[in-house]
Structure 1
Amino acid sequence: MIEARGLTKRYGPKTAVDGISFTVQPGQVTGFLGPNGAGKSTTMRMIMGLDRPTAGSVTVNGQPYAAHRSPLTEVGALLDAKAVHTGRSAYNHLLAMAATHNIPKTRVQEVIEMTGLQSVAKKRVGGFSLGMGQRLGIASALLGDPKTLILDEPVNGLDPEGVLWVRNLARYLASEGRTVFLSSHLMSEVALTADHIIVIGKGRIIANAPVKDIVDGGAQHTVRVRTPQATQLAELLTRDGATVTSDEPSLLQITGVEAPGIGELAAASGIVLHELTPVTSTLEEAYMLLTADSVEYQTESATQHVGHGVDSPADAPISEGAKR
């Protein structure tokens, strides 16, 4: 379990984390979301004792991280997969970590096999791809068979098979009663992996609830209807207080009335329906609504630049991904 109470971190005049309190429960996967600069990494660093809070406190399994006599068996963390001696092999890196806690060599071999590193275990880490570096970071986190896992962007650089593996691993570890706390910018993946979500924006908690509650809270309960009598149906629905929009002549997007009500109204009016589909909201949509006022770095849509003075690719704005 992770418990934060009034956790605050200031860097000079800037407040990175502003008095946040939350509990990460064992037995479930908790996603930690927020825009760049929201305070996610700072919070994770304070949990791991890498940054000292300006105020407040945070404990892992009942104690501050630094107070644990055997931290690797209490908490496993992936915060920076590149924080590895590039001249060492993956095996020797894990072996050196194991030696600090009297962890047997057999466990080193176990986590190498668990993370799919067998073929590269004796190779220097400096030659690893981003995905292999992530796998080594996860192997390091698992080495002490800890009660709590803290994973910052664990699927970064992984191929689809690797992403699925991390998802299944996180859920399996939680099913064993462990605490799993992970951050990711991939909303679709968090929606599939996490049971509970904490959203932070500008250093403050703006949501802390089960995934379903957050998604339902951001939903507009839209129903998509396709009918050759779209105009007639739209008039009837608008008269009943629904909001109707349309992108094409036979297609309606309706809010304010549930699908059964629309179907009953159409049947009573002799209107033929070719489609009647409730549109499910996504975690990404709910997240965007929640963090709309918390995004520090705003960007413009790429379509805004098309045909507006951008003469060549060299003149086009560079995306954040391209910079990296």
Structure 2
Amino acid sequence: MIVAEQLTKRYGDKTAVSQVSFTVQPGKVTGFLGPNGAGKSTTMRMIVGLDRPTAGTVTVNGRPYADLRAPLTEVGVLLDAKAVHTGRSARNHLRAMAATHGIGRGRVDEVIELTGIGSVAGKRAGKFSLGMGQRLGIAAALLGDPQTLILDEPVNGLDPEGVRWVRQFVRHLASEGRTVLLSSHLMSEMAQTADHVIVVGRGQVLADAELSHLVRSWTTNTVAVRSPRLTELVAAITAPGPEFTVTVTEPGAAEITGITAASLGDLAASLGIPVHELTSRTGSLEEAYLALTGEAVEYKSKEIA
């Protein structure tokens, strides 16, 4: 379990993290989301003792990271896949890490095979592609078979097979009762991976909820309908009150909020109006995320007309 309480970090006049509190529970994959500059990396660095908090506390399994006697066996960390000795082979890099904790060479071979880098384990890590570097970083995080895993953008640079493997593997780890904190900018991937989501913006927690609850709270379900008598159907829907919104997408087709597909289908049937399409569309994590962080984006791109 990871517990942050009123965690704050300032660099001179800039506050990178401000009074952040959250708990990362075991048995779940917790997604850690936020725009660039939101304070995610700073928070993760404070969790593992690379940055000292200006105020507040953060513990892993009840203790500060610095107090852990054998950190590799308790917390697996991937914050920067490039943090390797570029002149060493992948295998020797992992062996050097293992030696600091008395971890046997057999475990090094296990994580090499587990992460799919067996064919390049004898090559210098400095020559690795971005994807292979990520796999090596994940291997290093898994080296001590830790109960807590903290991964910052672990699928960055991976091919589709690698992305799916990471998704399935972290969910497997969580199913074993381990604590998994996962940061990513890929909303579609996070939607398939995370059980719980913490969203930060401008150094503060914007949301801390189960993924399904977050999506329901910040998005609107829409019903797509297509009918040769659309105008008549829309008139019947909107007659009772203004709680419905109708957006005509093309002649004879519209997207409607404020009504379920079942209710709309029943209404059309009762009026004898033919319906050629009736599709319910639920909101996405990406839509919820954008709605949450719209005012907290520090580096915003120009809209394309």
TM-score, length-normalised on structure 1? 0.92
Q: CA RMSD in A?
A: 0.8
Looking at structure 1, the residues matched to 279 and 147 of structure 2 have their Cα atoms a distance apart, in angstroms, of 43
Offset at residue 41 of structure 1 (A)? 0.2
**Identical counterparts, % of pairs:** 67
Structure 1 residue 29 and structure 2 residue 10: aligned?
A: no
Q: Count matched residues.
A: 303
| Runs of 4+ residues over 3 Å off in structure 1 | none
Aligned to 2:119: 119
Offset at residue 65 of structure 1 (A)? 0.4
Q: Which amino acid aligns with 1:120?
A: V
Structure 1 residue 49 and structure 2 residue 49: aligned?
A: yes
Q: Which amino acid aligns with 1:224?
A: A
Cα contact 1:7–1:58 (8 A) shared by 2: yes
Looking at structure 1, the residues matched to 115 and 247 of structure 2 have their Cα atoms a distance apart, in angstroms, of 49
Looking at structure 1, the residues matched to 262 and 101 of structure 2 have their Cα atoms a distance apart, in angstroms, of 61
Offset at residue 219 of structure 1 (A)? 2.2
Aligned to 1:105: 105
TM-score, length-normalised on structure 2? 0.98
Q: Which amino acid aligns with 2:51?
A: D
Aligned to 1:9: 9
1:1-324 map, 5 Å = 1-241=1-241, 242-301=244-303, 303-304=304-305
- State the Cα deviation string for residues 50-69 of structure 1 (Å, max 9, x = none): 00000000001110000001
Offset at residue 257 of structure 1 (A)? 1.5
Aligned to 1:308: none
Provide the secondary structure at the position in 2 that maps to 1:253.
strand
Provide the secondary structure at the position in 2 that maps to 1:46.
helix
Looking at structure 2, the residues matched to 276 and 104 of structure 1 have their Cα atoms a distance apart, in angstroms, of 60
Looking at structure 2, the residues matched to 243 and 237 of structure 1 have their Cα atoms a distance apart, in angstroms, of 10
Show structure 2 runs of 5+ residues with no match. Answer: none
Aligned to 1:307: none
Q: Which amino acid aligns with 1:105?
A: R
- State the Cα deviation string for residues 201-258 of structure 1 (Å, max 9, x = none): 1111010011100111122121110101111111111212321110101101111111
Offset at residue 269 of structure 1 (A)? 1.3
Show structure 1 runs of 5+ residues with no match. Answer: 305-324
Offset at residue 282 of structure 1 (A)? 0.6
Looking at structure 2, the residues matched to 257 and 197 of structure 1 have their Cα atoms a distance apart, in angstroms, of 28
Provide the secondary structure at the position in 2 that maps to 1:189.
helix
Looking at structure 1, the residues matched to 240 and 228 of structure 2 have their Cα atoms a distance apart, in angstroms, of 20
Q: Which amino acid aligns with 2:37?
A: G
